[in-house]
Structure 1
Amino acid sequence: MALPMLDWHTGLFDCCDDTSSCCYGFWCCPCLACTVAGRFDENRCLPLCDIFSPAITAACGLPLCVPPAALALRVGIRHRYNIKGSLCKDIMSSCFCEWCSWCQMHRELKYRKKNNPVVVNMQPGQHGVVMVNQY
Structure 2
Amino acid sequence: MTTKVVIQQPTPIMESRVSDQWHSGICDCCEDMPQCCFAFWCCPCFACRTTRDYGQCLCLPLLDICGLCIPSITLAMRVSMRHRYGIKDTICQDCLYATCCTACSWCQMATEMKERAIPIVLTNARPRL
Match of 2:83 among 75, 79, 92: 79
Matches within 5 A, 1:40-79: 40-51=54-65, 53-54=66-67, 64-79=68-83
Per the alignment, residue 44 of structure 2 pairs with: 30
Please tell me the residue identity of whatever aligns with 2:54: F
Match of 1:102 among 89, 101, 106: 106
1:46-76: CA deviation from partner (whole Å, max 9, x where unpaired): 000001x23xxxxxxxxx3110110010000
Q: Show structure 1 runs of 5+ residues with no match.
A: 55-63, 120-135
CA–CA separation in structure 2 for the residues paired with 1:73 and 1:80: 10
Please tell me the residue identity of whatever aligns with 2:21: D
Question: Which structure is larger by alpha-carbon Rg, 1 or 2?
Answer: 2
CA–CA separation in structure 2 for the residues paired with 1:5 and 1:22: 23
CA–CA separation in structure 1 for the residues paired with 2:35 and 2:55: 19
C-alpha root-mean-square deviation of aligned residues, in Å?
Answer: 1.7
Per the alignment, do residues 82 and 31 of structure 1 end up closer, same or farther by CA in structure 2, a change over 3 Å counting? same
SS in 2 for 1:47: helix
Per the alignment, residue 88 of structure 1 pairs with: 92
Per the alignment, do residues 5 and 109 of structure 1 end up closer, same or farther by CA in structure 2, a change over 3 Å counting? closer
> Could you tell me how far 1:117 is from its partner in structure 2?
2.8
Q: Show structure 2 runs of 5+ residues with no match.
A: 1-17, 122-129
Matches within 5 A, 1:9-20: 9-20=23-34
- Matched positions, count: 104
CA–CA separation in structure 1 for the residues paired with 2:120 and 2:40: 30
> Could you tell me how far 1:5 is from its partner in structure 2?
5.8
Per the alignment, residue 127 of structure 2 pairs with: none
> Could you tell me how far 1:118 is from its partner in structure 2?
6.1
TM-score (norm 1): 0.71
Per the alignment, do residues 75 and 118 of structure 1 end up closer, same or farther by CA in structure 2, a change over 3 Å counting? farther
Is contact 1:32-1:106 (8 Å) kept? no
1:88-122: CA deviation from partner (whole Å, max 9, x where unpaired): 11001101111111111111112222xx2368xxx
List structure 1 segments (4+ residues) > 3 angstroms apart after TM superposition: none
Sequence identity percentage: 48
